[in-house]
Amino acid sequence: MHSLMIVATAAVMSTVPVHAIAAGADKADVQQVQHGRRIYQQYCAACHGIKGEGKPGWQQRDELGELPPPPHDATGHTWKHADGMLYKTIRDGWRDPFNKTKRLTMPAFAGVLAPGEIRDVVKYLKTLWTPEQRRIQREESQKKPFPPETG
């Protein structure tokens, strides 16, 4: 029985980022982070990288004037945006104003992901940041929190 518990604990630890556990997250938060990680892997990782590392050269515009998908880890700028802004970007998509086309740079996921799923993805992204970045992002989010429909 003891070895089964060790295996189960190891499995949970391997799917939950260390930051989420180290931050003293409660069980509900850990479950939301795990859920967000699974959704991220399914819908976001192809563009933003398995570990949130983004595409190489993400700061250089391509021939269409678009920037490649940025990292969502500590090397990027995602942490500079409030929860409400990140939610809106995922839900509605985003078009870089310098694009030479009218298409969205990032597709909208409103018809694909439920509000709570978008929230869980954002909660997962927070585990990729440094404690200082999370502190700054938490302050920004007090001004523009998740919308009420996220639960």
Q: What is the pLDDT of residues 119-128, one digit of tens each?
A: 999 999 999 9
Q: Is the pLDDT of residue 146 over 80?
A: yes
Cα 105 to Cα 103: distance, rounded to the nearest angstrom: 6
Q: What is the pLDDT of residue 26?
A: 73
Q: Quick check: pTM over 0.75?
A: yes
Residue 128 identity: L
Q: Is the pLDDT of residue 1 over 70?
A: no
Q: What is the pLDDT of residues 77-125, one digit of tens each?
A: 999 999 999 999 999 999 988 888 888 999 999 999 999 999 999 999 9
Cα 117 to Cα 75: distance, rounded to the nearest angstrom: 24
Q: How many secondary structure helices (H) and strands (E) does the chain include?
A: 7, 0
Q: Which CATH number fits domain 32-150: 1.20.1090.10, 3.40.50.1980, 1.10.420.10, 1.10.760.10?
A: 1.10.760.10
